[in-house]
Amino acid sequence: MKRSEINHIIKEAVRFFTSHQFMLPEWAFWSPDKWKGSYNKCSEIVDNKLGWDITDFGSGDFWKTGLTLFTVRNGNLQTHNKVYCEKIMISGEEQETPVHFHWNKTEDIINRGGGNLVIELWHATPDDKLSDEDVIISIDGIRTTVKPGERLILYPGQSVCLPPRLYHKFYGEKGLGKVLIGEVSVVNDDDNDNRFFDNIGRFPQTEEDTEPVHLLVKDYPNYL
């Protein structure tokens, strides 16, 4: 992805968050210079990978396959200082987050507002393929059964609980606008806990065609 595109996506994300009255912490708006030499006072942010995460999953087409994420809070499996994580995300109409599961993480995916969120679910077979078994999940505490790959619609205010090893992909329903997505989970570990069905990149390379306005999580090592 080009840095200029990432800068634009972040600018539009801030506008969307604000329109839904979801306010980010003040360090979300730090310039790259503000981060330099700041590790001692913000090591929790850096070590636990809080902050901006813009990804096209290596697709080369963010608007077709991509996701805007901001990790608000997260623990660390090594220090056990927190055992939970919270993210806020944006998915556009038919903008897919590809099929994947988590080896260890249980998460609630929440439609916080905007359009409808479409989720497709599959159990993983013992050899990590897509199972043809029905999926029983909890939607806001209500036991619900869906067919594998069936379109499950989450309306604003609804949430679904996804246990480990449950394949899922999601995207905004066509014609209804972008979706504000919340995630509440146990500690998040994007380096080790994601299993994508296809061979894709979680953190794609950035083409530095301009300077960053705000840093991504993957930029921290270069500035701190």
**In terms of residue numbers, what domain contains 59?**
3-223
CB atoms within 10 A of CB 130: 15
Give the pLDDT band (50/70/90) at residue 204. confident
Q: Pairing mode, if any, of strands 194-196 and 97-102?
A: antiparallel
Domain count, the chain: 1
E strands in 115-188: 117-123, 135-139, 142-146, 152-154, 159-162, 166-172, 179-185
**What is the mean predicted confidence (pLDDT) over 6-13?**
97
Q: Is the pLDDT of residue 25 over 90?
A: yes
Q: Is the pLDDT of residue 34 over 90?
A: yes
Give the pLDDT band (50/70/90) at residue 149. very high
**What is the mean predicted confidence (pLDDT) over 169-183?**
98
**What is the mean predicted confidence (pLDDT) over 205-222?**
94
105-124 pLDDT, tens per residue? 999 999 999 999 999 999 99
| pLDDT value at residue 80 | 72
Q: Is the pLDDT of residue 163 over 90?
A: yes
Give the pLDDT band (50/70/90) at residue 188. very high
Phi/psi of residue 141, nearest 5 degrees: 85, 0
Q: Is the pLDDT of residue 81 over 90?
A: no
**What is the mean predicted confidence (pLDDT) over 27-36?**
95
**Sign of the CA dihedral running 109, 212, 12, 43:** positive
Give the pLDDT band (50/70/90) at residue 14. very high
Average pLDDT, the chain: 95
CA distances from 162 to 108, 142, 206 (A): 6, 13, 31
Which residue in 128, 127, 126, 146 sits closest to 136, CA to CA?
A: 146
| pLDDT value at residue 223 | 87
Length of the chain counted residue by residue: 224
Residue 130 belongs to a domain with what CATH number?
2.60.120.10
